[in-house]
C-alpha cells in the first residue's frame, strides 16, 4: 500500500500548500479569528486493540497482505469528510478496522468475501479513501470484526482504441488510469477534485462527477459494463453500447457504495486525448444571469467541457484566495467598474479537444456568454483555475490547522427551481452558522450543467471552538439537508450517500425504493457484511 499523503488529511507527497498572508488576512476580516488546531502526533492517537482475524481470511489474501500496524489502521479509519478529518486530526477516533487486507487479484477478493461472510466479518471496500460522506468509515453495526479491503492491487487496464472504450481495474487512481490511457492516446476526462487520490472503483461506486463532466460526462454515464463480486457470487453486465434487456443492473452496481459487493472491473468510454485545452474567465452580471447563460449553453448544444458560475461571495473569496493582489487586482477592479460588473460573478469556461472542434465550439459558447451579458476576462483566470483545480482538499487541511470548519455539499434541480433551491440552502446554512454564534461564510457555484437543470456546490467556512467541531458541523449539515429536501432538490449530486445522507434516502427514493434496494442487498449480501451503516436506512 503506497502512501498518497499524510495520515491525518490530504496533503500532497508531504508538501504543504499554505495560504498566503493576504488570504489569511481576508479570512480573519470575513469570519474572524480562530484557535489554531493542528493534528496530533500519530503516537497520540488512541485506538482499540484489533480483534484477531479468522485464519480463513488471512489465507484468502496471504499473511503478508494483512496489515495491522497502527498507521495502516488509522489511514483506513476515515475518509475525507469534515467530521472524518476532525476525528483523525484530534486523535479521537471512535474505531478503526481490525485489519487492512490487500487482495492481490480478483480471485483473492472472491475468496475473501466468502470467508468474511462465513465468519461474520464486516467488509469496507477502500479505494482512495476520499469519500466526503463517511462512505469508508469503519461502522461495525452488529459485527464484532471489521476489515478494510484496500483494492490498490487491482490495477489492470486495457484499451479498445476502435470502440473508444477501456477496461479498468478498480484500484487505479485517477492519475494511474490517465497514464495507462495516455499510452494509447486516449483520456477518460474524469477530473473530480479528488482526482489525485480517488480510484476507478470509487468513481463507480459513488457516482463521481468531475470538473469537466459537462463535456466528458459524469463517471456513471461513461461506464458501459460493470462487474460486481458480491458475497453471493458474481454479477456482470454485458459489453454493449446499450441494451433493453430489462431494468439496468449496471445502474444498480453504480452507486452501490460497497454495500452490495466489490466492483472488480468496469468498462468505460474514453475519448481521444485533446489536442488543445482552452480555459477562460468571464464575469456575469449576477448569479442568476450567470445560471441563465449556462441554461442557454446547455439547451442550445453549446456547452463548454467545463462550465462553472460562482455566486458573489465565492467570486470575492476566490479572487482573494488566488492571491491576485496589488497592481493586477486594482487593474481588474477598474476594468470591471468600467464595464459595470463590479458586483459580478465569475464564470469559468473551458474547452478541450481537437483544435478545429474547440475553435468552433468556443465561438458558439462565447456568443451565448456575450449574449447573456457576460464580460470576457481572458485566459488568465481560466489558467489560474485550471492550475488550482485540485487545490481544494489541501487548502482545507490548512484551514483546519488554523481552526476553521470548512465543508462542502452539493445538490441539483431543474432550471425552473434552481434559484429557489440556491436561496433556500444558502439561507439555511447561514442561519445555522449564525444560530451557533459563528460569523460564518457560505458560498456556492453552479458546477455541472444539463439540458434540464444543474448542480449547485456549496462551501461553508467558520471559526469553530476546539471540541465543538462535530456538534456544530452536524447542526449546519442538518439545516442544509433539510432545506434541500424541502426545496425538492436531490440530497447529493455527486458526493454520494455514505453515512451522512442515510437518513434522507426515504425522501429521495420513497419508502418502497429503500425496500427495493434492501431486497437487492439481501440477495447479493445475505449476511449483511458489506459496508454496514452506509446508503440504506435501517
Q: 410-469: which residues touch its own copies (CB under 8 A)? A: 412-416, 448, 450-455
Binding mask 384-403 for its own copies (x = CB under 8 A): --------------------
Q: Which is nearer to its own copies, 49 or 301 (CB)?
A: 301
| E-only strand ranges, 311-390 | 345-353, 375-378
Measured distance CA(458)–CA(310) in Å, rounded: 10
**Of 23, 3, 25, 24, residue with least CA distance to 14:** 3
Under the binding rule (CB under 8 A), the answer on residue 475 touching its own copies is: no
Dihedrals phi, psi of 330, to nearest 5 degrees: -65, -35
Name which position in 14, 21, 241, 326 contacts its own copies (CB under 8 A). 241
Q: Which is nearer to its own copies, 63 or 244 (CB)?
A: 244
Under the binding rule (CB under 8 A), the answer on residue 74 touching its own copies is: no
Name which position in 374, 425, 464, 517 contacts its own copies (CB under 8 A). 517
Q: Which is nearer to its own copies, 6 or 192 (CB)?
A: 192
The region of 12-20, 309-317, 472-480, 511-519 touching its own copies under the rule CB under 8 A is 511-519
Name which position in 255, 344, 372, 393 contacts its own copies (CB under 8 A). 255
Cell reading at 533: 451503516
Under the binding rule (CB under 8 A), the answer on residue 488 touching its own copies is: yes
- Restricted to residues 294-333, the positions that interact with its own copies (CB under 8 A) are 295, 299-301
- Restricted to residues 144-203, the positions that interact with its own copies (CB under 8 A) are 160, 162-165
Residues in contact with its own copies, counted by CB under 8 A, come to a total of 89
Under the binding rule (CB under 8 A), the answer on residue 236 touching its own copies is: yes
Under the binding rule (CB under 8 A), the answer on residue 235 touching its own copies is: yes
The region of 39-47, 71-79, 188-196, 515-523 touching its own copies under the rule CB under 8 A is 515-523
Q: Cβ 516 to its own copies, closest distance in Å?
A: 5
Measured distance CA(363)–CA(300) in Å, rounded: 13
Angle at 267 between CA 262 and CA 271, to 5 degrees: 140
**Of 508, 500, 506, 507, residue with least CA distance to 534:** 500
Q: Which is nearer to its own copies, 163 or 342 (CB)?
A: 163
Is the C-alpha dihedral spanning 394, 397, 401, 403 positive or negative?
A: positive
Q: Cβ 234 to its own copies, closest distance in Å?
A: 6
Q: Which is nearer to its own copies, 286 or 508 (CB)?
A: 508
Residues in CB range of 90: below 8 A, 6 or more apart:
40, 469
Dihedrals phi, psi of 460, to nearest 5 degrees: -130, 155
Under the binding rule (CB under 8 A), the answer on residue 24 touching its own copies is: no
How many CB atoms within 10 Å of residue 52? Answer: 11
Under the binding rule (CB under 8 A), the answer on residue 232 touching its own copies is: yes
Dihedrals phi, psi of 277, to nearest 5 degrees: -130, 125
Identify the residue whose cell numbers are 484551514.
399
Q: Cβ 536 to its own copies, closest distance in Å?
A: 8
Cell reading at 325: 493582489
Answer yes or no: are the C-beta atoms of 166 and 172 closer than 8 Å.
no
Measured distance CA(413)–CA(425) in Å, rounded: 12
Burial (CB count within 10 angstroms: exposed 0-12, middle 13-18, buried 19+), residue 241: exposed
Q: Which is nearer to its own copies, 23 or 480 (CB)?
A: 480
Under the binding rule (CB under 8 A), the answer on residue 288 touching its own copies is: no
Amino acid at each position: 500500500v503506497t502512501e498518497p499523503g499524510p495520515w491525518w488529511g490530504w496533503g500532497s507527497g508531504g508538501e504543504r500548500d499554505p495560504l498566503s498572508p493576504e488570504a489569511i488576512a481576508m479570512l480573519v476580516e470575513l469570519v474572524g479569528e480562530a484557535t489554531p488546531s493542528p493534528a496530533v502526533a500519530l503516537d497520540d492517537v488512541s485506538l482499540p486493540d484489533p480483534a484477531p482475524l479468522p485464519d480463513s481470511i488471512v489465507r484468502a489474501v496471504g499473511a503478508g497482505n494483512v496489515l495491522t500496524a497502527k498507521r495502516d489502521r488509522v489511514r483506513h479509519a476515515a475518509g475525507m469528510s469534515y467530521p472524518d478529518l476532525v476525528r483523525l486530526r484530534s486523535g479521537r477516533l471512535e474505531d478503526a478496522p481490525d485489519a487492512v487486507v490487500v487482495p492481490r487479484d480478483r480471485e483473492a477478493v472472491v475468496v475473501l468475501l466468502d470467508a468474511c461472510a462465513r465468519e461474520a466479518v464486516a467488509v469496507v471496500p477502500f479505494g482512495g479513501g476520499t469519500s466526503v460522506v463517511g462512505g469508508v468509515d469503519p461502522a461495525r453495526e452488529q459485527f464484532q470484526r471489521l476489515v478494510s479491503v484496500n483494492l490498490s492491487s487491482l490495477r489492470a487496464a486495457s484499451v479498445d482504441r476502435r470502440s473508444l472504450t477501456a477496461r479498468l481495474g478498480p484500484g487505479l487512481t485517477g492519475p494511474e488510469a490517465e497514464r495507462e490511457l495516455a499510452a494509447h492516446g486516449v483520456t477518460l476526462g474524469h477530473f473530480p477534485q479528488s482526482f489525485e487520490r480517488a480510484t476507478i472503483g470509487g468513481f463507480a461506486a459513488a457516482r463521481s462527477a468531475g470538473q469537466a463532466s459537462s463535456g466528458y460526462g459524469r463517471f456513471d454515464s461513461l461506464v458501459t459494463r460493470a462487474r460486481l463480486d458480491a458475497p453471493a457470487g458474481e454479477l456482470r453486465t454485458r459489453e454493449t453500447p446499450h441494451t433493453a434487456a430489462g431494468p439496468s443492473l449496471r445502474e444498480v452496481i453504480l452507486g452501490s457504495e460497497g454495500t452490495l459487493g466489490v466492483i472488480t472491473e468496469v468498462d468505460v468510454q474514453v475519448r481521444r486525448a485533446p489536442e488543445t485545452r482552452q480555459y477562460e474567465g468571464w464575469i456575469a452580471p449576477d448569479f442568476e444571469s450567470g445560471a441563465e447563460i449556462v441554461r442557454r449553453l446547455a439547451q442550445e448544444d453549446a456547452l463548454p467541457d467545463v462550465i462553472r458560475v460562482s455566486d458573489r461571495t465565492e467570486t470575492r473569496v476566490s479572487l482573494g484566495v488566488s492571491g491576485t493582489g496589488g497592481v493586477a487586482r486594482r487593474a481588474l477592479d477598474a476594468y470591471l467598474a468600467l464595464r459595470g460588473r463590479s458586483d459580478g460573478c465569475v464564470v469559468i469556461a473551458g474547452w478541450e479537444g481537437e483544435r478545429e472542434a474547440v475553435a468552433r465550439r468556443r465561438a458558439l459558447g462565447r456568443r451565448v456568454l456575450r449574449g447573456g451579458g457576460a464580460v470576457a476576462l481572458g485566459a488568465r483566470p481560466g489558467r489560474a483555475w485550471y492550475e488550482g483545480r485540485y487545490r481544494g482538499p489541501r487548502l482545507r487541511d490548512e484551514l483546519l490547522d488554523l481552526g476553521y470548519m470548512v465543508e462542502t455539499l452539493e445538490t441539483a434541480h431543474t432550471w425552473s427551481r434552481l434559484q429557489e433551491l440556491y436561496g433556500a440552502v444558502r439561507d439555511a446554512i447561514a442561519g445555522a452558522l449564525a444560530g451557533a454564534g459563528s460569523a460564518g461564510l457560505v458560498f456556492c457555484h453552479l458546477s455541472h450543467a444539463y439540458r434540464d437543470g444543474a448542480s449547485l456546490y456549496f462551501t461553508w467556512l467558520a471559526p469553530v471552538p476546539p471540541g465543538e467541531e462535530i456538534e456544530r458541523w452536524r447542526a449546519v449539515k442538518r439545516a442544509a439537508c433539510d432545506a434541500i429536501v424541502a426545496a425538492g432538490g436531490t440530497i447529493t449530486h455527486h458526493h454520494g450517500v455514505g453515512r451522512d445522507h442515510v437518513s434522507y434516502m426515504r425522501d429521495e427514493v420513497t419508502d418502497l425504493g429503500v425496500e427495493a434496494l434492501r431486497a437487492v442487498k439481501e440477495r447479493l449480501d445475505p449476511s449483511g457484511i458489506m459496508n454496514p451503516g452506509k446508503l440504506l436506512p435501517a
